[in-house]
Amino acid sequence: MSILSFLDRSHTIAKPGFSRWMVPPAALCIHLCIGQVYAFSVFNLPMTRLIGIAKSAPDDWKLTDLGWIFSIAIFVLGASAAVLGRWVEEGGPRRTMFTAALCFGGGFLVSAYGVSVHNLWIVYLGYGVLGGIGLGLGYISPVSTLIKWFPDRPGMATGMAIMGFGGGAMIASPLSVWLMSVFSTPTHVGVAETFVILGLVYAFFMLVGSAIVRVPAPGWKPAAYVPPTQPQKLVTNKDVYVYQALKTPQFWLIWIVLCMNVTAGIGVLGQASAMTQEMFPGRVTAAAAGGFVGLLSLFNMAGRFFWASTSDHIGRKNTYFVFFALGFVLYALVPYFGGAGNLPLFILCFLIIISMYGGGFATVPAYLKDMFGTRYVGAIHGWLITAWSAAGVFGPVLVNYIRQYQIDSGVPKAQAYNVTMYIMAGLLIAGFIANFMIQAVDDRHHMAAETVDDAVGVA
């Protein structure tokens, strides 16, 4: 017996009496930690003065070079989630969470060494590549487990975990700033020590999650839960193999749905501070704009839970219809409220938009489960994450370049975002059409019954 056999899926099968409500905290242990990636920018400025301390020295790293750390991590997140998704499904959640903990925590430790010897390539390798693998594995690891524990409320269950990813930055940002203040001296910035502490703390938290997590025994159902006996139009009780799912139009339509929803939201998130200050000059200070960004983070997080839970009642397709239709109206209204100087309604529009951005992330695992079954939903979700990577490039570039083009064309700064808002509204129409086209997966894509039985046997 291997020394690591406790990581096997067979060792994580819940015994009778195990409460399924232990599984969301296990998932949150992972997602609250890896959500740190959104707060990585707090290290950028301190890392530009590791040598100069008070201000950047000529040999210090440049911000443009440091920006690659985050980009590499997000790219590797998407790539590892896609490539390793099948291993995640077949190896089970504990093995994946354990590996994610070692990679994410280890990434910080390697980066701490890179900072201490002032070698940026080691930081790229540490946080970017190793940490990125931890991000990818951690992001998809609890999804199918939660769906199997909560067949009656899959949206709510995955919404809880993915809400943690949104909330992780709220913990990481002040914690990192505080740690750097503790370790900084007149001759030292304190980034390396902060990385070491964060690496150890995050690895510990994630390992606790991997210890708690369990998979349900074959055939387990929640008490009083009766699976629907009538076939539902857009909810299958059959399974599609991960690579077969990639051959279906439904996968790519959902890919477009997620990409459009994320593109529309991510462009705003990155520009929120500058946008409010430029659209309301003299009324919104830099500090107030920072407060607006904080409020957006809260609604981004809360929307993940709210909309994913709502989708259990109104259906996934209808939930995305709400995102796209309501989002279109709100984006179209933003320039009007901005022009009229109506700050409260302007803010309200964006808070609802950003809640739907988070909701899009959190609802999509349950949408995949409805379309492709539960067996390979984590692995299929891993491939879908590439839509996020694409949107992460597309959204900010779209907003930045259109704004700059407007300003170069002589449009006042206060109105430079109007065209962007209308283009975002257009993207949502494209998402609406893609969502409208989604039909049930053709029967020829489903796994044969004996294959599913074999798979369930190891579940």
Partner 1 sequence: MSFDDKDGGGTTGLELVLAWGFVGIPLLWGVYGTLANALKLFQ
Question: What is the b/e burial string over 246-284, where b = at least 16 CB atoms within 10 angstroms of the residue's CB?
Answer: eebebbebbbbbbbbbbbbbbbbbbbbbebbbbbbeeeb
Q: Answer whether 180's CB lies under 8 Å from 112's CB.
A: no
Asked whether position 345 contacts partner 1 by CB under 8 A, the answer is: no
Smallest gap from Cβ 393 to partner 1, in A, equals 27
Which is it for the CA torsion 320, 322, 326, 328, positive or negative?
positive
**Which of 120, 246, 274, 288 is the binder for partner 1 (CB under 8 A)?**
288
Q: Answer whether 324's CB lies under 8 Å from 432's CB.
A: yes
Asked whether position 348 contacts partner 1 by CB under 8 A, the answer is: no
Asked whether position 17 contacts partner 1 by CB under 8 A, the answer is: yes
Asked whether position 287 contacts partner 1 by CB under 8 A, the answer is: yes
Smallest gap from Cβ 173 to partner 1, in A, equals 8
Distance, CA of 34 to CA of 336 (rounded, Å): 38
Q: Answer whether 158's CB lies under 8 Å from 26's CB.
A: no
Q: Is residue 444 classed exposed, middle or buried when 0-12, 13-18 and 19+ CB atoms within 10 A define those classes? A: exposed
Q: Answer whether 373's CB lies under 8 Å from 365's CB.
A: no
In terms of CB distance, is 25 or 426 closer to partner 1? 25
**Which of 53, 83, 122, 208 is the binder for partner 1 (CB under 8 A)?**
208
Smallest gap from Cβ 24 to partner 1, in A, equals 8
Question: What is the b/e burial string over 154-186, where b = at least 16 CB atoms within 10 angstroms of the residue's CB?
Answer: bbbbbbbbbbbbbbbbbebbebbeebbeebbee
In terms of CB distance, is 48 or 300 closer to partner 1? 300
Dihedral of the alpha carbons of 240, 87, 85, 13, in degrees to the nearest 10: 70
Distance, CA of 431 to CA of 3 (rounded, Å): 48
Asked whether position 18 contacts partner 1 by CB under 8 A, the answer is: yes
Q: Collapse the DSSP code of 239 into the 3-class scheme (helix H, G, I; strand E, B; otherwise coil) and give the result.
A: coil
Number of residues engaging partner 1 in binding (CB under 8 A): 38
Smallest gap from Cβ 438 to partner 1, in A, equals 30
- Pick the piece of the chain touching partner 1 (CB under 8 A) from 79-87, 217-225, 248-256, 355-363: 217-225
Asked whether position 349 contacts partner 1 by CB under 8 A, the answer is: no
Q: Which residue has the tokens 């370049």?
A: 401
Q: What is Dmax (Cα atoms) for the chain?
A: 72
Smallest gap from Cβ 302 to partner 1, in A, equals 9
Which is it for the CA torsion 154, 158, 163, 164, positive or negative?
positive
Question: Around Cβ 357, how many Cβ atoms within 10 Å?
Answer: 30
Q: Which residues pair with 232 in a beta bridge?
A: 235
Asked whether position 272 contacts partner 1 by CB under 8 A, the answer is: no
- Pick the piece of the chain touching partner 1 (CB under 8 A) from 5-13, 218-226, 380-388, 422-430: 218-226
Asked whether position 49 contacts partner 1 by CB under 8 A, the answer is: no
> Which residues, 6 or more positions from 320, have their beta carbon under 8 angstroms from its beta carbon?
257, 261, 360, 363, 367, 431, 435
Which is it for the CA torsion 360, 366, 370, 374, positive or negative?
positive
- Pick the piece of the chain touching partner 1 (CB under 8 A) from 25-33, 42-50, 113-121, 132-140: 25-33
Smallest gap from Cβ 16 to partner 1, in A, equals 5
Asked whether position 212 contacts partner 1 by CB under 8 A, the answer is: yes
Asked whether position 334 contacts partner 1 by CB under 8 A, the answer is: no
Asked whether position 26 contacts partner 1 by CB under 8 A, the answer is: yes
**Which of 32, 157, 240, 421 is the binder for partner 1 (CB under 8 A)?**
32
- Pick the piece of the chain touching partner 1 (CB under 8 A) from 13-21, 183-191, 254-262, 426-434: 13-21
In terms of CB distance, is 52 or 174 closer to partner 1? 174
**Which of 21, 55, 121, 228 is the binder for partner 1 (CB under 8 A)?**
21
Asked whether position 274 contacts partner 1 by CB under 8 A, the answer is: no
Smallest gap from Cβ 18 to partner 1, in A, equals 5
Asked whether position 4 contacts partner 1 by CB under 8 A, the answer is: no
What is the binding site for partner 1 (CB under 8 A)?
A: 15-22, 25-26, 28-29, 32, 164, 167-171, 174, 208, 212, 220, 222-223, 284, 287-292, 294-295, 297-298, 301, 347
